[in-house]
Amino acid sequence: MSAQPLLRVEGLSAFYGDLQALYDVSLDVHRGEIVAIVGANAAGKSTLLRSLSGIVQWTGRLSFDGHDLQKLRPHEIVELGLIHVPEGRELFPFMTVEENLEVGAYSARARRRVVASKEKAFELLPRLRERRHQLASTMSGGEQQMCAIGRGLMACPEMLLLDEPSLGLAPVIIQTVYRKLVEINEAGTTILLVEQNLKAALRLAQRAYVIENGRIVLEGRSEDLRDDPRLTSAYLGR
């Protein structure tokens, strides 16, 4: 683990208009890690990723790879290699798999490497090569999730922000998706994972933060958190 974190979040508060969704959130992610943000529905997990991507109003301090994110617009954050794979996949349903992948390479840094990036995505997610000419809307949920992750890889990420990648998937498909995330991480991409699926997230991540009502209430190594009674309390809200 590197001495300086790749991502540092300090005192983050986030807002939707007058509604505050996050309160004084702080966390670090080091290069090469898989870190999970876990918590119950509506705890603030997705808002945290949206804040990092610059698409919600926030205060505090966010830095990525030594860059202050406060004055950067979303496309400038993408140029740094901080790439958000949103909840619900948000593919273009009437475009092919290959076309959806190419959409991910819209930034200047990614356009220079589109051929190599596509080959890397196909190597890590070989089902996408098989389905490259198929419309995204005709694929299974698991295949669509792979395509969304592959689109994220096309942006040449230093870090992937993954929002609920197991949502709506059968347990056996979740295992497949998570195996691919391990391979992506081992190939050099740092991962910050938001999940409501507690057991799956703690099996995948080395460390985790537990968020409740917009606040970080617990953090530590995943193996230590599995048996912590405070984790159950955060999920049940008591």
* Mean pLDDT of all residues belonging to the chain: 91
- The Cβ of residue 45 has, within 10 Å, a number of other Cβ atoms equal to 25
* Res 234 pLDDT > 80: no
- Tell me the mean pLDDT in the region 80-93: 90
* Res 55 pLDDT > 60: yes
Confidence at residue 236, expressed as pLDDT on a 0 to 100 scale: 53
Confidence at residue 230, expressed as pLDDT on a 0 to 100 scale: 75
Place domain 7-87+157-230 in its CATH homologous superfamily.
P-loop containing nucleotide triphosphate hydrolases (3.40.50.300)
- Tell me the mean pLDDT in the region 103-130: 91
Percent of the chain, pLDDT > 90? 74
Where is average pLDDT lowest: 63-67, 111-115, 225-229?
225-229
Name the residue with higher pLDDT: 95 or 169. 95
CA nearest to 224, candidates 236, 197, 206:
206
Instruction: Report which secondary-structure segment, H or E, holds 185.
Output: helix 171-186
Confidence at residue 148, expressed as pLDDT on a 0 to 100 scale: 93
- Please report which confidence band the pLDDT of residue 196 belongs to, taking 50, 70 and 90 as the band edges: confident
pTM above 0.85, yes or no: yes
- Round to whole Å and give the CA distance between 16 and 34: 28
Backbone φ/ψ region at 31: left (φ over 0), alpha (ψ -120 to 50), beta: beta
Confidence at residue 87, expressed as pLDDT on a 0 to 100 scale: 87
Where is average pLDDT lowest: 27-31, 62-66, 155-159, 198-202?
198-202
Q: Domain ranges in the chain? A: 7-87+157-230
Q: pLDDT of 217-231, one tens digit each?
A: 999 999 988 887 777
- Please report which confidence band the pLDDT of residue 54 belongs to, taking 50, 70 and 90 as the band edges: very high
